[in-house]
Amino acid sequence: MASKTTSGRRYETTKYSGNSHMERTDGRAYVYGSAARQADIRRQLDEPRKQLSHTTRKNRERARHMNFAYVLFLCLAMAVTGYVLIGYIRLESGITTSVKKIASLENQVNTLKVENDENLSRIESAVDLEEIRRIAITELGMVYAAQGQIVEIPDEGSDYVRQYTEIQK
Asked if the model's pLDDT at residue 145 lies above 80, the reply is: yes
Asked if the model's pLDDT at residue 26 lies above 90, the reply is: no
Same domain assignment for residues 9 and 54: yes
The 8-class DSSP code of residue 149 comes to G
Same domain assignment for residues 18 and 38: yes
Q: How far apart are CA 118 and CA 49, in angstroms?
A: 93
Q: Burial code of 90-104, b = ≥16 C-beta within 10 A, e = fewer?
A: eeeeeeeeeeeeeee
Q: What is the pLDDT of residue 55?
A: 87
Q: How confident is the model at residue 10 (pLDDT cuts 50, 70, 90)?
A: low
Q: How confident is the model at residue 15 (pLDDT cuts 50, 70, 90)?
A: very low
Q: What is the pLDDT of residues 69-124, one digit of tens each?
A: 888 999 999 999 999 999 999 999 999 999 999 999 999 999 999 999 999 999 98
Q: How far apart are CA 45 and CA 36, in angstroms?
A: 15
Q: Is residue 78 part of a domain?
A: yes
Same domain assignment for residues 7 and 55: yes
Same domain assignment for residues 79 and 101: yes
Q: What is the pLDDT of residues 29-63, one digit of tens each?
A: 555 555 555 656 666 666 666 777 888 888 888 77
Same domain assignment for residues 11 and 51: yes
Q: Is residue 31 part of a domain?
A: yes
Q: Is residue 48 part of a domain?
A: yes
Asked if the model's pLDDT at residue 8 lies above 70, the reply is: no
Please tell me which residue, 33 or 127, carries the higher pLDDT value: 127
Q: What is the pLDDT of residue 28?
A: 59
- Say if residues 153 and 161 touch (Cβ distance below 8 Å): yes
Q: Is residue 168 part of a domain?
A: no
Asked if the model's pLDDT at residue 143 lies above 80, the reply is: yes
Asked if the model's pLDDT at residue 144 lies above 60, the reply is: yes
Q: Is residue 143 part of a domain?
A: no
Same domain assignment for residues 35 and 14: yes
Same domain assignment for residues 54 and 77: no
Same domain assignment for residues 75 and 100: yes
Domain boundary among 17, 35, 60: 60
Range of the domain at 15: 2-60
Q: What is the pLDDT of residue 36?
A: 53
Q: Is residue 6 part of a domain?
A: yes
Same domain assignment for residues 54 and 8: yes
Asked if the model's pLDDT at residue 17 lies above 80, the reply is: no
- Say if residues 83 and 91 touch (Cβ distance below 8 Å): no
Q: Is residue 101 part of a domain?
A: yes
Domain boundary among 19, 37, 60: 60
Q: Is residue 8 part of a domain?
A: yes
Domain boundary among 44, 60, 76: 60
Number of separate domains in the chain = 2
What is residue 145's three-state secondary structure? coil
